[in-house]
């Protein structure tokens, strides 16, 4: 018999991981042809909430 607690924990962790991945703000940004690599890194850091220069 499958332990329901183990099943709930594993599915709960997968749900949490999917929810956190879908909430990422950089998933909504698509780089344009004029965007530079440095500009996209700067935007990603500010979107994630990291301190500038960190």
- Predicted confidence pLDDT, tens digits, the chain (54 residues): 679 999 999 999 999 999 999 998 887 777 778 777 665 555 555 555 555 555
Give CA 45 to chain center in angstroms.
12
Separation of alpha carbons 35 and 50, rounded Å: 21
The secondary structure of residue 27, as a DSSP letter, is G
Burial of 41 (0-12, 13-18, 19+ CB in 10 A): exposed
Question: Which residue in 16, 14, 13, 23 sits closest to 48, CA to CA?
Answer: 23
For residues 41 and 30, give the distance between their C-alpha atoms in angstroms, rounded to a whole number. 13
pLDDT, residue 15, reads: 98
């Amino acid at each position: 018999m499958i332990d329901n607690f183990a099943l709930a924990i594993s599915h709960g962790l997968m749900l949490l991981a999917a929810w956190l991945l879908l909430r990422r703000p950089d998933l909504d940004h698509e780089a344009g042809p004029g965007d530079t690599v440095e500009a996209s890194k700067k935007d990603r850091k500010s979107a994630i909430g990291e301190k500038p220069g960190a």
